Amino acid sequence: MFRKPSPPPTTGITPTERVTSVLGPGLTWSGSLRGSGGVRIEGIFEGEIHVRGLVVIGESGRVTCETLRANTVVVAGTLYGNILAEKLEIRSTGRVWGDVTVVTFTTEEGAFLRGQVRMEEKVDLQLEAPESPTAAENPPEERSPSSA
């Protein structure tokens, strides 16, 4: 009777798994999405997704791919394709048509999944090794005036 409402569940996304790129609503993209970082899809994407990091399919997002591969996947929109991930969360507005292979899996009430779920102790995402650091991350060494 006097209880406080419980806070909404957290996704457990670590600070290193942040969204760094966005495909906004009204945009359509076909092709390959590969790399490291985090991406949020609010538009329409068709192709393949292999991301070392976070992939968020927002409520207005619609993704069609053979297999989405990422460390963490959050689906609040629509996904047609299989998922291979360490963590998967399907939000109440999320719709997934495809098979799922994950280490951890959570859903909110109202989420939809049509496919098989396979939980493993470890998942081989088969992602490419991260690229070497960019020049901005490694500033040039200082030279002394005599060596110039």
Q: What is the pLDDT of residues 39-76, one digit of tens each?
A: 999 999 999 999 999 999 999 999 999 999 999 999 99
| pTM for the full predicted model | 0.76
Look at residue 7 and tell me whether its pLDDT is greater than 50: yes
Predicted pLDDT at 15: 46
- Judge contact between 80 and 63, C-beta under 8 A: yes
Q: In 10 A of CB 89, how many CB atoms?
A: 24
d(CA 147, CA 51): 43
Give the containing element (helix H, strand E) for 92: none
Average pLDDT, the chain: 84
**Encoding tokens for residue 104?**
């951890």
Listed range (72-81, 108-117, 139-148) with the worst mean pLDDT: 139-148
